[in-house]
Amino acid sequence: MSVFYKKRFAPLLLLACTGAYSCSSSEQAAEETPTSLKEAAEGDFYIGAALNYDQVYGREEEAVALIKEEFNTISPENMLKMGPIHPEQNVYNFEPADKYVAFGEENDMFTIGHTLVWHSQAPDWIFVDKEGNTVGRDTLLQRMEDHIATVAGRYKGKIDGWDVVNEALEDDGSLRQTKWLEIIGEEYLQKAFEFAKEADPEAELYYNDYSLWKPAKREAAVHLVKNLQEKGIQVDGVGMQGHYGIDYPSLEDIEASINAFADLGVKVMITELDVDLLPNPSNRQGADIAMTFEPQEGFNPYAEGLPDSVQQKLTRRYADLFELFHKHRDKISRVTFWGVADKHSWLNDWPMEGRRSYPLLFDRDYQPKPAYEAVMEAVSE
């Protein structure tokens, strides 16, 4: 019996077990079987998805219904990033973010804010004056503080956790050379967390990055968080972006990072989870959105559909990942997919436009793939 069959007929099974009727042990077991991802993982960690504009505006009814049914935490794909919400000085575009936050409130979801400080999708104006010259340290700090106070302050008590700083590290463990670092210096990390704490003292505050399974980057992130902790700065968790491939990273490397961050006394979150099945034009193992390529022959192999053999590999990969997450459920507070269904995935257009990707648990028709059943089984044990 499939999970979705159980969803449809569970009420009938319950009715049959009342009144003059009695239930067999198999019928009782069917009724007790979890019927959604969030129910299967209840008591272990939140299960979430990243929402796009159409979903928060209610324009994708099937997707909205799926989100409400399966998930209990949400993240915004773009509507809370600095560029989209603060495109010009003293100009804010709050409507999409308001709808996103309202969706979380209406559906009693653990709502994530993504992200307050990031080198990408930052508006050009924030780093320059009216003449186009690079601003000084004090000016940029003031602009950062104003942005965080305005945005995090607006959603005080409504957004439960913020990705305060996103992707501040290179894969080799060095600090990423960004305008934030160039103008302010390394202190920008501390200041971002301080400003976020001032704007909403009750919200959880996170550092979020990709490829944190790589030893050098793992060690650098541990150092970053320790450094902030030693200065008395609140850091509640580390978000390990789960932009994984079908054959990388190893479970051992992921597990080593889960343990390393948990040892800091902070929550560990698997964020932005997806599994890329498509050939890689650069042998990249991360999520640097600046790395793009022109379409090339041979890099869109599943344009007509996913072969069963590859579907089976995806199923096994997700089973392995969630068996690991379930094992460390005492350390992991949240697992969030980067998208709802395959049709929404950013991997359809990155690092090449027009590719047909299959990285999530639900297909383009919002139907559960075999990997869904594998995840349900892994977290229900």
Residues noted as catalytic: 167, 272
Backbone angles phi, psi at 373, to 5 degrees: -60, -40
Q: Which residues contact 225 (CB under 8 A, 6 or more apart)?
A: 207, 235, 238, 261, 264, 266
Q: How far apart are CA 163 and CA 241, in angstroms?
A: 11
Is omega for the bond preceding 115 within 30 degrees of 0, making it cis?
A: yes
Q: Is 218 helix (H, G, I), strand (E, B) or coil?
A: helix
Quickly list DSSP for 147-178. Answer: HHHHHHHHTTTT--EEEEEE--B-TTSSBP--
- Smallest CA-to-CA distance from 120 within 289, 241, 238 is with 289
CB atoms within 10 A of CB 216: 14
Q: What is the CA radius of gyration of the chain?
A: 22
Provide the residue count of the chain: 381
Quickly list DSSP for 350-377. Answer: SSSTT-----SSB-TTSPBPHHHHHHHH
- Distances from the Cα of 78 to the Cαs of 81, 188, 346, 355, 358, in angstroms? 5, 22, 11, 21, 21
Angle at CA of residue 57, ends 53 and 63, nearest 5°? 80
CB atoms within 10 A of CB 300: 16
Q: How far apart are CA 318 and CA 14, in angstroms?
A: 31
The runs of H, that is alpha helices, within the chain are: 3-16, 25-32, 37-40, 53-56, 61-70, 82-85, 95-106, 137-154, 179-184, 187-199, 215-230, 251-262, 308-327, 370-380
What residue type is assigned to position 307 of the chain?
P
Q: How far apart are CA 250 and CA 269, in angstroms?
A: 18
